[in-house]
Structure 1
Amino acid sequence: MNTSLIELQVDGGIATLTLNRPDKRNAMSDEMRTQFIAALERVGADKAIRALVLTGAGKGFCAGGDIAGMERRLNAPAGEVAFNGWHRQQRVHHTQALLHTLPKPVIAAVNGAASGLGADTALACDFIIASEWASFTWSYIHRGIVPDGGGMYFLPRRVGLPKAKELIFTGRKVDADEALDLGIVDRRTTADRLLADAQAWARELSQGSATALALGKSILDQTFESSAQQVFAQGSQAQGICYTSAEHRAAVEAFLAKSAAAKQ
């Protein structure tokens, strides 16, 4: 799928999705979001795709929300502002939920500035790898608003509640080195190696059973909100499904055959 605002390429089961609005530092417009949703739905539905790498074209990862959209919101009739805002939020949350719950590993390859919604979008991925040019800022406070792309949920889980409050209350910029130290970023690499390293990591993460990966991810993503009893119960149900999967049968049969051969 190649469009003006989103590029999606698949190689060897690894999808690379590029936010392609470099002249605007990949700020998320309504049309771009529509294309982003379509691309994520395709990745989620395609069993041949085992993992996703998300990055940005040009010098930025994603500059956040589109400034033209902010201007339209200010100029809307007073009686329509609230409902228009609610409707927009539904689209934002749908997009972030698709990214966060994608049933396969997702890596954000942050090549430049990830600001506001851009920083939240990186956090919605399972893992973040950053180049030396990467930076993160939860800049919502400078616009008189709160993080609406999941930052208030994801950031405390990576850096702890007090540090998340500090970053969100100040909106200050965090460079790649500090982001790695804080745990915002999982791996650090160079700009010329960013995509290759992210794609190699995606291949490493997605070698196992796609069924087990999808079920395990869905449970792990709820761990902090669930009791031990709930996690065990969900794990039991997931394991029952795994027992019936073709991947489990093939793996066990290969293990048994290898064991039998070793005894001969």
Structure 2
Amino acid sequence: MFVEVERPAPGVAVVILNRPERLNAMAFDVMVPVRDQLVELGRDNDVRAIVLTGAGGAFSSGADQKSAGKPPHADGLPRPAYALRSMEVLEDVVATLRRLHQPVIAAVDGAAVGGGLCLALACDIRIASPTAYFRAAGINNGLTANELGLSYLLPRAVGTSHAADLMFTGRDVDADEALRMGLVSRVADPVVDEAVAIGERIAGFSQPGIEMTKRSLHAGIAAGSLESYMPVEGIGQLYLRMLTDNFEEAVQARAEGRDPVFRDDRDGGI
């Protein structure tokens, strides 16, 4: 199997791309099971946060240019349709990461190149090891730098000027520069341990509170204006304020000098 799942802490699952001899390149026999595992974890209500990482000192080197394999259900298709089906499989992995109820933390070690950069960008949080590096590689291959949502996600992560720099030059960005430009939120070693610790912290909060926060965060990124978006946030806050006792528990816990214990329902109904 080229994909492994570990459960190192309560509420946290780690999905590992495990084809280190190919730097975890995005062959179909890697990406299809990754998508399927993510879908399965998304339906597991005991999983509160997901870490995505790669084995063998690399996150993912992007498209597998030597042994990509075949996309499912593509036999007999003409070349243009075959290419479309291939792209759809990879796009579905990115879309699945964005759709998951749980926050996803990319633990990036070594290369996050081309499609590998896109996988990292599709995650909610990105943590880099000191040896991590990032490259928008399409331009180096005589193509555009636009793939798998890169031209949507990258400028929203780092701003348009940094995004243009990376996409037009195809240069490598090391972990320290990635931190400075906001591509990652921290640099840590060992990176997976740090990502799991973040996942454990997330798992300690209200489950619907985290889910609503992720939904609102993504909606805010795509919103057309502040005025049209603010009611989305307000409704989310009111929803949890009315349907749970978590706010009262947080206030009481602070007064008593203890950690809150969140229950995601309300005693006695609304």
TM-score by length of 1: 0.85
Residue 6 of structure 1: CA displacement?
0.6
Residue 15 of structure 1: CA displacement?
0.6
| Other structure's SS at 1:96 match | helix
Kept after mapping to 1: 8 A contact 2:202/2:210:
no
2:115 to 117, 125, 141: 117
> In angstroms, what is the RMSD of aligned CA positions?
2.5
Go from structure 1 to structure 2 and tell me whether the alpha carbon gap of 1:169 and 1:209 turns closer, same or farther (over 3 Å shift): same
Show the counterpart of 1:203: 200
Deviation string for 1:61-116 (max 9, x for gaps)?
1010111367989xxxxx93322222222222211011123212211111111100
| Other structure's SS at 2:198 match | helix
Show the counterpart of 1:144: 142
Deviation string for 1:190-239 (max 9, x for gaps)?
2xx21111111121233211112111211211213312233233234434
Distance 1:70 1:131 in 2: 27
| 110-119 or 248-257: bigger deviation | 248-257
2:209 to 206, 209, 212: 212
Show the counterpart of 1:35: 33
| Other structure's SS at 1:212 match | helix
Residue 256 of structure 1: CA displacement?
6.3
Distance 1:198 1:228 in 2: 31
Go from structure 1 to structure 2 and tell me whether the alpha carbon gap of 1:14 and 1:230 turns closer, same or farther (over 3 Å shift): same
Show the counterpart of 1:98: 96
Kept after mapping to 2: 8 A contact 1:5/1:19:
yes
1:222 to 219, 231, 238: 219
Go from structure 1 to structure 2 and tell me whether the alpha carbon gap of 1:145 and 1:127 turns closer, same or farther (over 3 Å shift): same
Kept after mapping to 2: 8 A contact 1:105/1:206:
no
| 250-259 or 50-59: bigger deviation | 250-259
The one-letter code of the counterpart of 1:160 is G
Show the counterpart of 2:176: 177
Show the counterpart of 1:238: 236
The one-letter code of the counterpart of 1:209 is S
Distance 1:212 1:106 in 2: 15
1:130 to 128, 133, 138: 128
Deviation string for 1:141-195 (max 9, x for gaps)?
12222331221111111221122112111111111111111111110112xx211
Kept after mapping to 1: 8 A contact 2:108/2:120:
yes
| 230-239 or 208-217: bigger deviation | 230-239
Distance 2:221 2:247 in 1: 31
Residue 241 of structure 1: CA displacement?
3.7
Distance 1:199 1:71 in 2: 32
Show the counterpart of 1:156: 155
Go from structure 1 to structure 2 and tell me whether the alpha carbon gap of 1:130 and 1:254 turns closer, same or farther (over 3 Å shift): closer
Go from structure 1 to structure 2 and tell me whether the alpha carbon gap of 1:215 and 1:72 turns closer, same or farther (over 3 Å shift): closer
Residue 122 of structure 1: CA displacement?
0.6
How many positions carry a matched residue from both structures?
A: 249
Counterparts of 1:44-83 in structure 2, within 5 Å, are 44-68=42-66, 80-83=78-81
1:87 paired with 2:74, answer: no
Distance 2:70 2:15 in 1: 28
Distance 1:253 1:32 in 2: 44
Kept after mapping to 2: 8 A contact 1:14/1:49:
yes
| 233-242 or 89-98: bigger deviation | 233-242
Distance 2:70 2:204 in 1: 46
- Runs of 5+ consecutive residues of structure 1 not aligned to the other structure: 74-78
Kept after mapping to 2: 8 A contact 1:20/1:26:
yes
Kept after mapping to 1: 8 A contact 2:23/2:60:
yes
State the percentage of identical aligned residues. Answer: 33
Kept after mapping to 2: 8 A contact 1:104/1:206:
no
